[in-house]
Amino acid sequence: MNARRAMRDKKAMRENGRPSIGLLALQGAFHAHGEVLVRLGAAPREVRLPGDLNGAEGLVLPGGESTALLRLIEEYGFEETIPRFAAEGKPILATCMGLILLAREVRNPAQKSLGLLDVAVERNAYGRQVDSFEAEGEVLGRPFPMVFIRAPRILDVGKNVEVLGTWNGDPVLVRQRNILAATFHPELSGDDAVHGMFLDVLPRER
Ligand code: GLN
């Protein structure tokens, strides 16, 4: 592809200069992500079919219920689309259920996953009585508000996985190349820094 063509394609992905970000909208908590993306100057678009991702510069995989999501992912053919999108090097932000979907290994109970993120996770790992809680964790050395909702726990991380955030000694925000993943819900805490990191890697238009 020559440089001019590449430039035109890059422009085509912008909506009035805003990067178009796909938001997987099959199941789960995607609305609040959309609000954060708009606040940060991006143009979210709901993705319900694989074709909806064409031209998107990034992808958000929200929280929800991963067993239900997995069925829909397979039904609509996303189990090919998402790995292809990731292989193109485009940024992906996966939260909670989204992280479970991308993990190498899922326990409690074991279930299939896309294996794009080299972590093992245990679902619903923080106790049955307390399904959700807020806590102060740490992201890149600073205190960070976190909302956990029936959250998974990262049990181990591969050597290419960078731990960017922790709570109570557990990794809760990790990055592997273009994939940024949180066990908590950064769209609900009122601090947009995680979405900021996700969008920061996109080329800027001036
Ligand atoms: N408990 C859910 C699951 O295991 C994840 C919860 C969430 O995404 N908030 O799929």
Question: What would the pLDDT profile of 145-178 be if each residue is shown by its tens digit?
Answer: 999 999 999 999 999 999 999 999 999 999 999 9
Give domain status of residue 161, yes or no. Answer: yes
Domain count for the chain, please give it: 1
Q: Determine which one of 33, 57, 96, 195 is catalytic.
A: 96
Domain carrying residue 113 = 3-200
Q: How confident is the model at residue 204 (pLDDT cuts 50, 70, 90)?
A: confident
**How many C-beta atoms lie closer than 10 Å to residue 129's C-beta?**
5
Q: Whose CA is nearest to atom 4 of ligand 1?
A: 123
Structure confidence at residue 130 as a pLDDT band (50, 70, 90): low
Name which of 188, 65, 181 is nearest 123 in CA terms.
Answer: 65
* CATH code at position 179: 3.40.50.880
Catalytic residue among 31, 187, 195, 205: 187
72-103 pLDDT per residue, tens: 999 999 999 999 999 999 999 999 999 999 99
In a domain, 205, yes or no: no
187: annotated active-site residue? yes
Q: How far away, in angstroms, is 21 Cα from ligand 1 center?
A: 22
- Gap between the Cα atoms of 150 and 144, Å rounded: 19
Report if residue 190 sits inside a domain. Answer: yes
Coil, helix or strand at residue 193: helix
Per residue in 97-115, pLDDT (tens digit) is: 999 999 999 999 999 999 9
What number does the ligand 1 atom closest to the CA of 100 have?
10
- Answer whether 19's CB lies under 8 Å from 42's CB: yes
153 vs 61: CA distance, rounded Å = 17
Whether residue 96 lies in the annotated active site: yes
Return the best residue to mutate from 123, 128, 153, 185 for the ligand 1 pocket (most ligand atoms within 8 A of CB): 123
In the prediction, which pLDDT does 195 show?
98
**Looking at the predicted structure, is the pLDDT value of residue 126 above 90?**
no
206 domain residue, yes or no: no
- Report the pLDDT value the prediction gives residue 9, as an integer from 0 to 100: 55
